Amino acid sequence: MNPFKIIGWVAIAIAVVGAFVDGGIPYGGLLLLLLGLAGGVAVAAEDHVRVLVTALVLTGLSGVFAANLPEVGGYLTSIFSSAGTFVAGASFTIISRNFWRRYKP
């Protein structure tokens, strides 16, 4: 199995388990961000825009669930906002690599 797929599965596990653990996973956000930074290296160039838009949508719209789904909305909000943190880490890697490629000496 591809190590970057393992990184993705670990991030999904942290997001889902963290949603159901009272108080969340300690340093779960940091773990997700670091996993995203590492996983962003494997994103192909043709998928860059997709990852950037996914990060924006997950972090921006994840709160809609809590407002509109009374019982499960909080859990879904937690899962999707955690996934947004993971994808934001990958986005930072993509942006940093693109910035470096454009302005390297």
Domain definitions of the chain by residue range: 3-103
Q: What is the pTM of this model?
A: 0.90
Query: 38-52 in b/e burial notation, b at 16+ Cβ within 10 A?
Result: bbbeebeeeebeebb
DSSP one-letter code for 42? G
Tens of pLDDT, residue by residue, the chain (105 residues)? 789 999 999 999 999 999 999 888 999 999 999 999 999 999 999 999 999 999 999 998 988 888 888 889 899 999 999 999 999 999 999 999 999 999 988
pLDDT at 24: 84
pLDDT at 63: 85
